[in-house]
């Protein structure tokens, strides 16, 4: 569904991604793990069209989208739940959700998708007229996911979805991602909790200093001594 090959990304003279290649199969959950500064967010931003690569290809369902503007990437069916949620705090819950349906691909199904979001996150329905900035951290994360769903994506990239959430909410949030995947949405998961993300993932990639250094099934990487020592403290 998504193929990244030989991706190089720079911020000025600093190289953030160095020859990154990976493949995402339809219907999978794929984890991208690595330390802070490894290039995980740079990879997501480049796929989303927020950063232009110096070289390499990004093919979504066979079409090269490298360097395309973000709104065109979104309208092809790639959604993003950004790190830090990035909601509009002064707008209501409903207004935030409606912004997600502004894509041409999503307009016809707006009412259906809104109903889907409210069924998935009933608290958003209860708070639809409330300013988004007054929601709890967990509710804001629900809103960020809901807004993404309003764009009718086929693939969603989650960047640190559990960041800043209370432990009791982390499991609920990750189970929401599993539920979306069961509905047929392909998921790319960048998550600080390496053990949990590898347990969820069908396939995973380890990024170190902008390069893919390991890849394999989630179970295989969980059992790999290098991963256990570097990221799990075992």
Q: pLDDT for 121-179, tens place per residue? A: 999 999 999 999 999 988 999 999 999 999 999 999 999 888 878 887 888 888 899 99
> Which one of 100, 120, 153 terminates a domain?
153
Q: How confident is the model at residue 97 (pLDDT cuts 50, 70, 90)?
A: very high
Does residue 72 lie in a domain region?
yes
CATH number, domain at 202?
Answer: 3.40.50.300
**In 3-state terms, the chain is what percent helix, strand and coil (to 5)?**
40, 25, 35
> Which one of 123, 153, 183 terminates a domain?
153
Question: Are residues 159 and 102 part of one domain?
Answer: no
Question: Are residues 50 and 10 part of one domain?
Answer: yes
Question: Are residues 58 and 159 part of one domain?
Answer: yes
Question: Are residues 117 and 190 part of one domain?
Answer: no
Does residue 120 lie in a domain region?
yes
pTM: 0.91
Does residue 8 lie in a domain region?
yes
Question: Are residues 129 and 181 part of one domain?
Answer: no
Q: Report d(CA 223, CA 194) in Å as an integer.
A: 12
Question: Are residues 125 and 70 part of one domain?
Answer: no
In three-state secondary structure terms, 58 is strand
Count of structural domains within the chain = 2
Q: Is the model's pLDDT at 193 over the cut of 90? A: no
Does residue 169 lie in a domain region?
no
Question: Are residues 187 and 147 part of one domain?
Answer: no
Does residue 59 lie in a domain region?
yes
**Nearest-5° angle of CA 141, CA 142, CA 146?**
120
Q: Report d(CA 132, CA 110) in Å as an integer.
A: 20
Q: pLDDT for 19-70, tens place per residue? A: 999 999 999 999 999 988 899 999 999 999 999 999 999 999 999 999 999 9
Does residue 228 lie in a domain region?
yes
Percent of the chain with pLDDT over 90: 81
How many CA atoms lie less than 13 Å away from 40 in the CB half-sphere?
Answer: 26
pLDDT at 217: 95
Question: Are residues 57 and 125 part of one domain?
Answer: no
Dig out the tokens for 50 from the structure.
């927020």
Question: Are residues 229 and 133 part of one domain?
Answer: no
Question: Are residues 68 and 3 part of one domain?
Answer: yes
Question: Are residues 97 and 1 part of one domain?
Answer: no
Question: Are residues 73 and 9 part of one domain?
Answer: yes
| Domain ranges, residue 178 | 1-77+154-164+174-234
Q: Report d(CA 92, CA 41) in Å as an integer.
A: 28
Does residue 213 lie in a domain region?
yes
């Amino acid at each position: 569904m998504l193929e990244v090959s030989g991706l190089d990304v720079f911020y000025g003279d600093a190289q953030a991604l160095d020859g990154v290649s990976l493949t995402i199969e339809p219907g999978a959950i794929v984890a991208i793990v690595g330390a802070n500064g490894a290039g995980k967010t740079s990879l997501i931003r480049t796929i989303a069209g927020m950063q232009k690569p110096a070289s390499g290809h990004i093919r979504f369902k066979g079409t090269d989208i490298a360097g395309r503007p973000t709104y065109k990437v979104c309208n092809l069916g790639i959604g993003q739940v950004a790190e830090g949620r990035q909601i509009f705090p002064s707008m209501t819950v409903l207004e935030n959700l409606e912004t997600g349906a502004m894509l041409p691909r999503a307009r016809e199904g707006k009412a259906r998708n809104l109903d889907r979001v409210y069924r998935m996150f009933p608290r958003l329905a209860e708070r639809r007229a409330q300013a988004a900035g007054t929601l709890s951290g967990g509710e804001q994360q629900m809103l960020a996911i809901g807004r993404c769903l309003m764009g009718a994506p086929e693939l969603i990239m989650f960047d640190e979805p559990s960041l800043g959430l209370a432990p009791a909410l982390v499991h609920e949030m990750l189970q929401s991602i599993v539920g979306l995947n069961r509905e047929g949405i392909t998921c790319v998961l960048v998550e600080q909790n390496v053990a949990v993300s590898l347990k969820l993932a069908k396939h995973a990639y380890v990024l170190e200093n902008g390069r893919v250094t390991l890849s394999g099934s989630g179970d295989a990487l969980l059992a790999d001594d290098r991963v256990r020592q570097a990221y799990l403290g075992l």
